[in-house]
Structure formats: structure tokens, C-alpha cells
Amino acid sequence: MSSVVSPIRQPLVKGGKTYHQITEDICSPTERMPSTQWFIAFAVSIAFLGVFAFSVFWTVYWGIGSWNLNRTIGWSWDITNFVWWVGIGHAGTLISAILLLFRQKWRTGVNRAAEAMTIFAVICAGQYPLIHVGRIWLVFFIFPYPNTRGPLWVNFNSPLLWDVFAISTYLTVSLLFWYTGLVPDFATLRDRSKGIRRRIYNGLSFGWTGSAKHWQRWEALSLILAGLATPLVLSVHTIVSFDFATSVIPGWHTTIFPPYFVAGAIFSGFAMVQTLMIITRKVLKLQDYITLEHIESMNKVILVTGTIVGVAYLTELFIAWYSGYIYEQFAFYNRVLGPFYWSYIGMMTCNVLSPQIFWWKKMRRNIFVTFIMSLFVNVGMWFERFVIIATTLARDYLPSSWSYYTPTWVEIGLFVGTLGLFFTLFLLFTRVAPVVAIAEVKSILKTSGDQYSHEEH
Amino acid sequence: MKNNNKEVWIGHNDLNSPELQEMAKQEFANNIPVVDTMADEQVMESSTNRRDFLKYLGFGLGAATVAASCEIPVKRAIPYVVKPDEIVPGVATYYASSFVKGGDYTSILVKTREGRPIKIEGNSLSPVTHGGTTARAQAAVLDLYNVNRLQNPTKDWAEMDTEIKDALASANNIRIITNTNMSPTAQKAMGEFLAAYPKAQVVTYDAVSASGMLEANEVSFGLPTIPNYHFDKADNIISFGADFLGTWISAGEYAHGYAKNRKVDPKAENPTMSHHTQVESYMSLTGSNADNRIMVRPSEQGAAIKAFYNALVGNNMGSELNEKASNALKALADKVKGANGKTLVVSGSNNVAEQVVVNAINEYLGSYGSTITFDRTSNQRQGLDKPMAKLVSDLKGGKVDAVFVMDANPAYDLPEAADFAEAMAKVKTSVFISTVPNETGALCKYVAPAPHFLEAWGDVEPKAGMYSIIQPTIAPLFNTRQAEESLLVWADSSNLNAEADQPYFEYLKANWEANMFPKQNNFLSFQTFWDKTLHDGVFTAPVAASNVRNAADVNTYLAQIAKPGQGEEIVLFETVAMGAGQYAENPWLQELPDPVTRTTWGNYFGIPITWEGGNSMVTYQNLNQEEYKGKADVVEVSVNGKAQDITCIASFGLAANTFSAALGFGRMEVGFAGKGVGTNSMAWLSRDNDGNVQYFNILDAEPKPTGEIDYEFPCVQYHHTFGITGQEDGKEINVDEKTLMAIGEGFQGGLTERSIIYQANLNEVNDLKAKIAEKREFAKHLNDATLYPYEEYQEKFYSQGHHWGMAIDLNACIGCGACQVACVAENNVPVVGKTEVSRHHEMTWLRIDRYFFGDHENPNTVYQPMMCQHCDNAPCENVCPVGATNHSSEGLNQMTYNRCIGTRYCANNCPFKVRRLNWYDYTTADLFGGNEVYVNGEEIPFGADNLTRMVLNPDVTVRSRGVIEKCSFCVQRIQEGKLTAKKEGRSLREGDIKPACQTACVTGAITFGDFNNENGALAKALDSELNYLVLEETNVQSSVHYSAKIINRDEAIS
């Protein structure tokens, strides 16, 4: 890493921190009693998790009939939520892997939390492919394991099977990456603690001593994992988009889906990182580590990806018209103006129009605007998946079979339930692990700390 | 309860046997003396101590294991000790019989497996029904296993007989109330009863009657009968409100004849077909198939008949009729005037004067002797309305002291049902003879349960000299006695041998020996004649040609025709499935969508639609604006001073100021399937001056919205049109496409350019052929842009062996729904109930899509049977992650239910939307109990009780919750056909394999076969330029071909 940083760059660590202060600031939240705010948030999350458990029970006991899917619309909120959660995960991987390879230093402030978010989002996403099936007790059929039925193999042609591989690989690599980063930080926590806590962290840090050899191997492993994770950023959502792109249903069967889905995924992922970070930095008092600089950088990514998504939306419409293919034309006409027009409006407003305010620097650096925008984007991206899935299925080829869809309480329960699952996991995470990568922040302190980069002036 | 239901039982007698039920609860058939042996002190001293110890150890382990796996129900399957010759387990036996219910008749073959009837097929030897069936006949097998059947008489038979005979002896006025009875032997039995009790009279009526026609034919010809109609011989068919394809008299028979002249020869330079005009008030099944519909209000029906007569003979048509209809009838009269003997005019009117004028029209057109003959007159409607009305007043006056009700239901289906019910209290002795309870039965003192027709002996003479046998296919399930036998017992008949094993069988046989046997010359001995008749199911005796002359003075009757009424009217009609309520018991029929409105589980108040020109009108896609959300408005309708709330639906093809409601719903004393389903509209009927029931009425007031919403509106189709045209700015536009979108307007061609339905007028057939050729060429061009050309694939995989396919002629399909019920019966398709249908959870493998096209006010209709298309490049197959759906080497798209985990990806990716998920535990086959769905408030979920489960086809898996299912091309029949051919050491022959939908079809619209059989019926059907594949450009390479819909519309007439 270069030690020469342009003075034009804003510092990434503020408050004239020393190494010790950094350790204190980041480790202390895991060492003191949680705040009342944390307890309230945790109670709410657990309650939502309870809703999730009950909705899952209801679905399994009664059957998928407890959802409002029908003979025409076989997927709706279930797969919408699945794609939405998978998409959210992408920001974490992008930040930790691609930005690592590109030596983007600002990633150090947010990468830990973003990676945690990735893992929790993928866990949430993974619930849906399981519970959406009609016979969950046989869901192991979907894995290619040796069996006595012939042996009977899975259908390697099916994009749903590719999903299984993509998501499980993604979860594994993300988990490894996240954990690798955590090892030195766990060692720091270990060194500061006593008794049982010390023993646990000792185990978690794999006997890390901080020797030069350790650091060298750690760096190498991080790079290798970054190399592995980088294609995953592109491939996972590409494969998820294949669920739709390889089908014959007009509105699903489009070649634009892979890039469009990946852009959308990064877009929504960054929005979720913003939502989480803005709260976390405030509650855990980490404003010196997750600075306005970080927020602005991420807003730029949101602006870029949001605009890419917008271009994709317009391209879809253009290609539908240009194709001269009546079914395609109708599908997109219907998407915009049909009975689900409100979801299209929601999608366009939240995803394409509203991020345009980030052309103004003032807005990019406004925490309140950023927070509202991050919610907007997440809502918009949810609408996007809903538009693609439900609207398309509702009116496909044969008009006799057209139908409509509204969710039941069970489906709503499952959605808010996974939000509960996600936040429960995230809140626990803030209690047991450093939310900011201590070692990595320290590594950029001498180049991007405000007392270093600016005292020369 | 759950455990009891899982036991296998062999016959009905097991149901009531306490010993067997007790035994069923025990772990082992006999006690095992474990405890005794263990307690025996000598055991310890015995020499085989160690071995015994191991035995007990082994047994103990085994017993513990069995006891621990608590949910293993004990199932008994007992082999035959002496196997009956005719039963081979696994091989079906067919018996010829007849489906009869009142005046409904179908000659059938009953498929039995291991002694239980499981399916009804048409009898192709029948000269009446020609092997076709109706939805009603197909569903009848389920009635046999109806849990609601009458199972025991009110008292012990002997005791009841004595009491009834005592009552009869002292009675002064005895009435037997019956619906149409076509059985000659039953008539004979009735005759004996009447002879024994001279104070008895028979009153025959029909809920939807042909009383007016019977009386008119007496006036015109001196014959109170229904003549023989030849729809196949008519070039012009004109129907004044007669729903002759759906419900009128002998709809199955007429549909068969009608279809013959409706199929278009694709090879002909100038193809021909009959022209069918329907003059009616609401869109009936027949009207939907008509080329031209002339809409009149129900009270204008008489005026329309009169105007048409006047136009024909050149009189002034008058101005009673609305101008549009008047002009159309004028044009129609001009069209048919010359074609002598080539026209057939029928009328569903129940007014004598109107029917006399119809007879005069037919005579003027020379129909008698060609399209209408009096040789094989029909017995299928015999009821007269006036005597029934008189009976009600007699009952009210307390003049009648004994009433016998034979399977009729006047306490429900008379306009004066309430009066009848009240007056029944005054009757001293009332006896109800029927298979199932009903509103009238509930009022009767004695109930004499009769067997279902599949358990009974009988005969039928639906048309003069055309006899048909009813033979039992299973021993009576309950303690029942045939109605005829009961009558003979009460009459103390000397001809009945009550000691015989089957007394009525002996009586029937004797009657046949005496009366039918002499009518033929082919058989010398009665036994051979009887055996042959029993085998064939039918016997046709020659009848003398009858010369009739029309003696009526038409002018008298023209003057009698009532003038059209004013104001808003309601037309009340019978539906294809429900009849006049006599089929309300049957869940299969309740769930059969009405062909025209596509609604199930109830009747709905039809409101005419009008094109307002604006986008606010979304009726064309969505009849009541909320239909697609499963909601509909409830309105209050008052007729005859009787107001009721009824769910409404905007309906195509209703005349101005006319509303409609189906009869036969809102029954209360009925099995669970019909209880409280829909609204009872019987009380809205009226009678004309002659006492004949009129199936329309004037509304007391404009229907007013109640503000209530029916949240369970079970309509299976919410987009209804396919190119409905209207005028806008002087241009013709597709109205449905314009109104499709929620914002703005849809674009023209968004629907009509799809390759789903092709239709054209007869004079544009050649243009249509060119259009189909062009579209198919384009599709082929798109499909050829592939690395995997289909032709190579087909050559490689399917050129050897079989390659199954189907051809469906949209011109022959009349939409009657028989195939759909046949499919349900054959393939164990579950019934899901009203709530589930309103959520679009219906499970039907085969559906009949109905689209309206053409003029928005008065559209034409096309019916498209839609089932799995067995695509050779199936989109469902490659997306299933577990490979639960795959392709057979014979081109079948197969479902492996065991492997299916229910991701529904296949259903999403199916362009035809024919795949169905078991959303709930519809078949009660789930792992854990308590989560079954109830169809309509039944005690045990429908299909969970052992009685109903007897109807299941053992060749077809019952699917569990969470599994996708769909049409299999009746793969079990394919397999059976192949095995039969193999056993007989031959190759498959044409007709060896016919799926259930094909055998059910009365018009021959469905042809199944092998693409590789170049000489087969399928190859012949496919050799047509009118053939196309639905959605061919998607390159799914489907195996079901459709032949385009051709109508013979005459623009001058509409």
C-alpha cells in the first residue's frame, strides 16, 4: 500500500485516533452491557422472528394453500423475497472482495458489517427455497447425493438446481471470508478479556499471536478468498436471474436479466448497508470510523447502479417494442399499465427517479436523506422483483388463465419474519464481534487518518 | 375416526358389522398366548429354555417396534375363497346399462373394478346416444357412493308395508307424484298398483317441463308426444329458446346429430355446414354455439315466433317485437323460405299457442317427414304442468289422503313449492320413494329407500321402440328396495314373486318375455334374446312409420300469443350441470364450471353488459370488476313479491332489460354438496293462462345493490373475450384489447394476434387457411433458429414405436363439459369446493376455455378444451430441479408424483397453465390429520370417508398435498391398451386406446392416436389446413392439435 495519499482525499478515520483508541472504540460495545435501545430492538426482532416461526409452522401444517398463490401465479412473495434477500447480500461481497482487489481503502470502515449483512441476508434468502416447496419434508431431493433410487440424480438442466449450488457456494465463501477477517480481531478481544470469555475468543481466534508469519498468511488467504468471491458477485445473481431468463414466459425470457440483476443486487445491497451503518455508527458511536466519506462513496455506488438499473428498465421496454413479438410487447405493456401498475410505479419511483438526487453532493453527504433513500431503494428493489415475478405470471399466454394476486397474512408474516431473523442475527453480531475491522482500519490509519493526512497542510 | 377411515373394507356389509370393526381395531387376528406361556411355571424347567428366551426376545422386540410405530393403521385385504369367474383382480369388467334420472337418459357401459363401479362410459351400440355421454351421466357414478343416501326405511320393511297397505285400503284419494318415467316395466307395475287401488291417480310432472309442447302436439297432431328431431338432416336450424345442446329433452342425442353437420370438410373447395340461429334472451350453451343469435326479451319469445311465422307466410309482421329482432327474423325467413324440408325449427317455449305456431312453421317449411318425424317419438318429457297445479290445490283443500312421491321433489321445484309443503301436512299417509333425501322426502311420513340405478334392475324406452336395459353392477350398498317392487308389494301383485332372490328382476324378465321378445325375429329363444340384450344394453324394435297431419287452426293460436310485457324481466333457466336441482348432490357437477359463465358452486344473477366506449368498462376482462379478486356484489332481487339476495355477474348475450338466474340451486334438504349453494329461484317462476310453468317473470323492482360483497366468487376464468369488436370513431376496434389495462388503453392486436384461437366465417375459410399457413410458417421460421432442430430430434426419438398425440376440432366442441367430468372420474381429480375455486385453486386437468369474439353486444363463442399439450420440447421438464416431470419414449409428458417436491416452477413455465398443485390436503392423504379442507360443510372431509373413496380409480395414484399434477393422456389406458394387444400377440389397432375425454365426447371433437400411424384417425384429422398448434412459436412442440373454429354467420340476420 502506498503511503502517499493525495491531500485532496478526505480522511477515512477521524478524531486523531491512536491505535489504542481504535481498539477501545471498536471493542468496547462488545464488552459493556447492551444499551436499552439494543434491548428494545432485540425484543422487536425476536418478536418478528416468532412471527416467522409461526408462519412457517402454518405453511408446513396446512400447505402452500395458506398462501394466495394459484394455478396461474405459482410464485409471488416467496421468490420475490428470496431474490430480494440474495440481492441485498451482494454489497457485502462487493465491498470485501472487489474493493479489496481494487485497493479501495474506504472499504475498511464498512466491510465487516457489510459481510455480516451478506451472510445474514443469504440465510434469510435461503429460507424461501425451502419453505416455498409443497413438500418440505422431501426437500433433500434437491441435493445430488448418492441414493438407492436407481441412483436417481437431480436435474442438472434446472436453474433451480443451479440456484442451490450458487447460493450454497456463496454462503460458504462469504462465511469463510468474513471469518478470516474476524480472526485477528477476535484475538484482540481475547487479549482484552478474562475467564470464559477469554477462552471462547481464544478458540475463535485459532491461537492467533500476531506474528509476521500469521499476518502474511492472513493477507494471502484474504486475497485468495477475494479472488474466489469476486466472480461470485457476478455469478450468483446471474444464476438467480436464470430462474427467469431461461423460462418461456414473456417478461421472464430476456437476455438482459443477468447484468440487470447483478446491478440491481449491488444497488439494493448498498442501500441495505447504508440503512444498517447509519444506525450502527450512531448507536455504537463509530462516526469516526464510518464517516461521511464512506457514506458518500456508497451513495455514489447507489447512484451508478440505480442508473444502470434504470437503463435496463428502459432497454427492456425498447426491446419489447423492437422485437415485434406480440407476447413480449403485451407482457411489458401489461407490466407498466396492467392491474399491477402500482408496483411498476413504485419500482420506477424508488429505483430510478429518487436516486437521482445523489447527483448533488449536498444530498450525498446528508445522513437523513441517505437514510430515507436507502429505505426507498430497498422498497423499490422489492417492487422490482414483485413486478418481474407476479405481474408476469398473472397474465401470460392464455387469457383464460389470467389471474390476480394478493398476499395472505401468512406470506406477509414470512416476509416480516425474515426481517426479524435478519435483525436478530445482526443485533447479536454487534454484541459478539467488532463491527468494524480493527486490524484493517489500523492498517490505513497512517495514510488516511485525519491527523496524518492533513497535518502537513 | 381417522383410523377407522383408513381400513380397507370389501363390501358394504362390513360397514355395519360390529365384529369386523372390532377385529379391525385389534393388533392380531387371534390372541397370542404370550402372557399365558410366560406365567407357566413349567417354562422355567422346560428343556428348550434358551430358544424360547430368544423367541420371546425377538417377539418382544418386534412387538415393541410395532407398538412404537403407533400410526400404522391395520388394513385388511381378504382374498376370494371362491373367485367369481367374471372378476380378475386388476382387470376391469364392463356392463351395459342405462343412466336415467327423470327424463334424462344415456345408454352407458359401467366400468367395474373388483366389483365396484368406478366409471361410466358411453354405449356406442345405442341408436339414441351413439356412445356419447353427458356431464350428468358421467357424474352419476359418484352418486352411488353418496354418503347422504337413504340407507334404511323408516320402519322395518314388513311393518311399513303393512301400515302402508292398511292406509291405502282406507284411502279415498291416492296420488302418485312422479317425474317422467320412461320404463315400460315400471309403467306396468304402476298399472298394477292403479288396478289394485282404483282411487289412485298418477300425476307426472317435470321441474323443467315440455308440457306446452306435449299439449300443442296433441292440438296439432292428436299425439301428446315429442317427435323425433333430426338435427343432422337440417341445413337451417332455428331454435326459439330451446337449449337443445345443453339441457333440452335429449340434449346428448341432439348434440350428436347437430355436430355431424357442423364439421367442416377442410378439403372442400366451398365447404358447407348447417346454419344455426338461436332466438333467445340469455346466452345458453346452444345459443353460444349458434351462428346467429337474435336477442329477445323472454316475454317477446311468443311475439318472435309469431313474427317469424308472419314473415314466412308473407303476413304483416306487426310491431310487437323489438325492431332489431324483427328485421333479423325477416332476413332469416327470407333465407329459409325456399329450402323445403331442410329446415328444423324447435322451441323451448312452454306455451301451447306458441308451440302450435312453431308446428305450423315447421309444416310450412316442410320439416315433417324430413327433419322431424313421428316414427321414434321421444318419451323423455312426459310431465304435464296443469294436473300438478291442480294437485297442489287439491292438497290444500285437504282432498287427498295418501301421497306417494317417486323420486320427485315438488316441495322444491314447483313454483308453488311453499304451498305444496304446507299442504302436505294435511295428508294422512305420505310415502317417499327415492335414493336420496330431498325437501319433499322430509315432509313424508314413510321413507322407502330405493337403490341407485347402478344397483338396480330396470328398463327404459327413451324413444318409441328403442329399449335400453338397466342392470345392477354392484350388490345394493344399503337396505333398499326398488320403487317398482315396493309398488307391486303394496298392490299385492300376483305377478311378483316376493320369495325370489331378486323379485323385480324376475318381474322385469317376465315382462320382456311377454312384450319385447315377440317384437323381434332374430332370436328364437327368449334366453338368447335376453342375454344379447343384456350384453348390448339396448334393443331396438321396429315401429310403424306414422303419418300425421297438422289439424290445428294456426290463426286461433296466433291470436292467443301474449303480447310482450313491459319493464325488466328475468329469465330462469336450467344449467348443464345442475338441471332443476336434481343433481345438486353431486360435488363433481357443482364444481363443473358453467360452460357459458364459467362459474361454479352456485347460481348468479346475470346483468346485461353494454359497451360504454370508455376505458372505465373493464367488463370484457373482468365481469364484475372484482371478479379477479374472487369478489362479487350482492343485489336484492324481487320477483312475485319474493325478494332474495343474490350474487350478480355481468353476462354477455343478455337481451336488453333482461336479467337471468339459473334454476336448481339453493336447495336445503340435500347432501352437503348442494346444501345452501346458490339461491333458490324456483319461487320466481310463473304460470301462463293454461297453467303451464313459464321460465321467466317480470321483476317487481329494479335490482338494487345491497352493499354486501360475496368474497367467494368461484369463477374459473376472468378474462372472457378474444377479439370482441365495437365501434369507436366509426372504426371497428377490439374492445377487449382496448379495455385490458388499468391505466390508459391496451394496444390493438395484443390478444387477437396470439396463436391461440383461429376462427373465421364460412365464406372466409380460404383466407383463414392462408392465415394459418402464414402464421405456422412464421412459427417454424422462429423455431428453426436453433442448434437442436426439432425434426432431427423427432426422427431420432419418436420415429420408431409410438408417438402419442391428439386432435381437437373446435368446430365440433360444444363446450358441454362431459369430458371434464369424465376426466375427474377417471383420474381421481379432487374436488376443492367453492372457497378454493374462488382462489383459483381448482384442480381440473382438462378445462374448457370459453372466449367470446365478434360483436360485443351479441358475440359468438369458441370453446377450447385445454389440457396438458404433452410438448416434445416441454418447458416444464427442464426446469424441475428434481426431475419429477420427464418425457417418455412415446412422447408423453409424465409426472412422477413420488419425486415431486412442489416447487411449482413447472407450473410457472407452462405456457398453457395446465399444471395443478395440490395446495391443500384435498385427497385427505396427508401424513398428519386435521388439516383437510372441507368442500361445503360436510361432516367428514369429502373423499375421506370410505364410501366415497370407493369411486377412486385404482389405476391412478391419489396425489398428496404439495404435489403437482396434470393430464397424463390417460396413461393408464395407454398401458392397458398396449398390454391387451401384447397379450393377444398383435400390434395396436385404431381405437384400442381412447382417453376418458374422447370416450365421453358426444360430438367426436377429440381424437387421440399415434402420430406414427399413417392410416389412423389422428392422421386423418391432422390432414387439414385448418389445423394448428396453440402457441406454436414458443417452440414447445406440443402434441395437441386444434382445428380452427368456423362459424356460418349471416350478417343479415344479426
- Overall average pLDDT of the A250-270 stretch: 91
**Quick one: pLDDT at residue B30?**
64
Q: How many CB atoms lie within 10 A of CB B630?
A: 23
- What confidence category does residue B283 fall into, taking pLDDT thresholds of 50, 70 and 90? very high
- Overall average pLDDT of the B508-526 stretch: 92
Whole-angstrom distance, CA of residue B210 vs CA of residue B249 = 8
Beta strands in A239-345 (DSSP E): none
- What confidence category does residue A247 fall into, taking pLDDT thresholds of 50, 70 and 90? very high
Comparing CB atoms, the residue among B747, B850, B878 nearest residue A158 is B878
Q: Which residues of A touch B749 (CB under 8 A)?
A: 326
Say whether pLDDT at B619 is over 70.
no
Interface of B with A in 853-912 (CB under 8 A): 864, 866, 875, 878-883, 899-905, 907-909, 911-912
Interface of B with A in 497-526 (CB under 8 A): none
Dihedral angle over CA of B40, B42, B45, B49, nearest 10: -50
What amino acid occupies position B158? A
**Quick one: pLDDT at residue A456?**
47
User: How far from the centroid of its chain's Cα atoms is residue B758's Cα?
Assistant: 27
Say whether pLDDT at B382 is over 80.
yes
Say whether pLDDT at A103 is over 90.
no
Q: What DSSP line would sit under B286-322, residue for residue?
A: HHHH-SEEEE--GGGHHHHHHHHHHHHHT----SSS-
Tens of pLDDT along B203-231? 999 999 999 999 999 999 888 999 999 99
* B911 to A398: CB separation less than 8 angstroms, yes or no: yes
Name the DSSP class of B232. Answer: G
- Overall average pLDDT of the A141-169 stretch: 90
**Quick one: pLDDT at residue B11?**
63
Whole-angstrom distance, CA of residue A271 vs CA of residue A275 = 6
SS3 B3: helix
Q: Which residues of A touch B746 (CB under 8 A)?
A: 333, 337
Q: Which residues of A touch B928 (CB under 8 A)?
A: 61
C-alpha distances out from residue B148 to A28, A107, A245, B437, B675, Å: 74, 73, 52, 8, 11
* B879 to A329: CB separation less than 8 angstroms, yes or no: no
Q: Which residues of B touch A396 (CB under 8 A)?
A: 911, 913
* B866 to A334: CB separation less than 8 angstroms, yes or no: no
B621 to chain A: nearest residue by CA? A399
Q: Which residues of A touch B867 (CB under 8 A)?
A: none
Instruction: Give burial (CB, 10 Å; 0-12/13-18/19+) of B636.
Output: middle
Of all residues in chain A, the percent with pLDDT exceeding 90 is 63
Q: Which residues of B touch A138 (CB under 8 A)?
A: 901
**Quick one: pLDDT at residue A1?**
41
- What confidence category does residue B36 fall into, taking pLDDT thresholds of 50, 70 and 90? low
Using a CB–CB cutoff of 8 Å, tell me whether A63 touches chain B. yes
Q: Which residues of A touch B967 (CB under 8 A)?
A: none
**Quick one: pLDDT at residue B4?**
47
Say whether pLDDT at A4 is over 90.
no
Which range has the worst mean pLDDT, A3-7, B167-171, B900-904?
A3-7
Residues contacting A195, CB < 8 A, separation 6+: none
A336 to chain B: nearest residue by CA? B743
Name the DSSP class of B515. Answer: I
Whole-angstrom distance, CA of residue B849 vs CA of residue A398 = 9
Say whether pLDDT at B3 is over 60.
no
Mean of the per-residue pLDDT values of chain B = 88
Whole-angstrom distance, CA of residue A387 vs CA of residue A407 = 14
Q: Which residues of A touch B820 (CB under 8 A)?
A: none
Q: Which residues of A touch B881 (CB under 8 A)?
A: 142, 154-155, 158, 160-161, 164
Tens of pLDDT along B684-700? 999 988 889 999 999 98
Say whether pLDDT at B855 is over 70.
yes
User: How far from the centroid of its chain's Cα atoms is residue B391's Cα?
Assistant: 32
Using a CB–CB cutoff of 8 Å, tell me whether A148 touches chain B. no
Q: Contact B755/B1030 with Cβ under 8 angstroms?
A: yes
Tens of pLDDT along B627-684? 777 788 889 999 988 999 999 888 889 998 899 999 999 999 998 999 999 999 998 9
Q: Contact B830/B707 with Cβ under 8 angstroms?
A: no
Q: Contact B357/B336 with Cβ under 8 angstroms?
A: no
Helix (H) and strand (E) counts for chain B?
33, 40
Cis? peptide before A258, omega within 30° of 0: no
Say whether pLDDT at B168 is over 80.
yes
* A71 to B933: CB separation less than 8 angstroms, yes or no: no
Tens of pLDDT along A185-207? 999 999 998 889 999 999 999 98
Q: Which residues of B touch A390 (CB under 8 A)?
A: none
Tens of pLDDT along B829-851? 999 999 999 999 999 999 999 99
Say whether pLDDT at B370 is over 70.
yes
Say whether pLDDT at B508 is over 80.
yes
Q: Contact B236/B275 with Cβ under 8 angstroms?
A: yes
Q: How many CB atoms lie within 10 A of CB B975?
A: 12
Name the DSSP class of B88. Answer: B
Using a CB–CB cutoff of 8 Å, tell me whether A144 touches chain B. no
SS3 B935: coil
Packing angle of the helix pair A107-131, A36-62 (nearest 10 deg): 20
* B879 to A158: CB separation less than 8 angstroms, yes or no: yes
Q: Which residues of A touch B903 (CB under 8 A)?
A: 132-134, 160
Using a CB–CB cutoff of 8 Å, tell me whether B770 touches chain A. no
Which H or E element spans position B947? helix B946-949
Using a CB–CB cutoff of 8 Å, tell me whether B919 touches chain A. yes
Residues contacting B38, CB < 8 A, separation 6+: B56
Q: How many CB atoms lie within 10 A of CB B277?
A: 29
Using a CB–CB cutoff of 8 Å, tell me whether B644 touches chain A. no
Residues contacting B88, CB < 8 A, separation 6+: none
Q: Which residues of B touch A341 (CB under 8 A)?
A: 741-743
Tens of pLDDT along B450-479? 999 999 999 999 999 999 999 999 999 999
Give the count of Cβ contacts less than 8 A between chain A and B. Answer: 198
* A134 to B900: CB separation less than 8 angstroms, yes or no: yes
**Quick one: pLDDT at residue B1?**
44
**ipTM > 0.90 for the complex:** yes
The region, left, alpha or beta by phi > 0 then psi within -120 to 50, assigned to residue B723 is left
B793-819 b/e with 16+ CB inside 10 Å = b?
ebeeebeeebbbbbbbbbbbbbbbbbb
Residue B378 backbone phi and psi in degrees, to 5: -90, 140
Mean of the per-residue pLDDT values of chain A = 89
Whole-angstrom distance, CA of residue B1028 vs CA of residue B1007 = 15
The partner residues of B721 in beta bridges, in order of sequence, read: B852
Tens of pLDDT along A428-457? 999 889 888 888 888 877 777 777 665 444
Tens of pLDDT along A227-237? 888 888 889 99
Order of all β-strands in the sheet with B343-347: B292-295, B275-280, B236-240, B343-347
Comparing CB atoms, the residue among B742, B875, B905 nearest residue A160 is B905
* B921 to A63: CB separation less than 8 angstroms, yes or no: yes
Packing angle of the helix pair A409-432, A36-62 (nearest 10 deg): 140
C-alpha distances out from residue B775 to B389, B1033, B1035, Å: 61, 9, 13
Residues contacting B952, CB < 8 A, separation 6+: B118, B828, B958
Whole-angstrom distance, CA of residue A291 vs CA of residue A370 = 13
* B913 to A398: CB separation less than 8 angstroms, yes or no: yes
Using a CB–CB cutoff of 8 Å, tell me whether A396 touches chain B. yes
Cell of A2: 502506498
- What confidence category does residue B615 fall into, taking pLDDT thresholds of 50, 70 and 90? very low
The partner residues of A325 in beta bridges, in order of sequence, read: none
Say whether pLDDT at B2 is over 50.
no
**Quick one: pLDDT at residue B463?**
92
* A339 to B849: CB separation less than 8 angstroms, yes or no: no
Residue B26 backbone phi and psi in degrees, to 5: -85, 150
Whole-angstrom distance, CA of residue A409 vs CA of residue A429 = 30
* A399 to B921: CB separation less than 8 angstroms, yes or no: no
- What confidence category does residue A3 fall into, taking pLDDT thresholds of 50, 70 and 90? very low
Tens of pLDDT along B325-344? 999 999 999 999 887 889 99
Comparing CB atoms, the residue among A64, A142, A329 nearest residue B881 is A142
Whole-angstrom distance, CA of residue B604 vs CA of residue B593 = 12
**Quick one: pLDDT at residue B31?**
64
**Quick one: pLDDT at residue B510?**
93
* A155 to B880: CB separation less than 8 angstroms, yes or no: yes
**Quick one: pLDDT at residue B44?**
54
Instruction: Give burial (CB, 10 Å; 0-12/13-18/19+) of A20.
Output: exposed
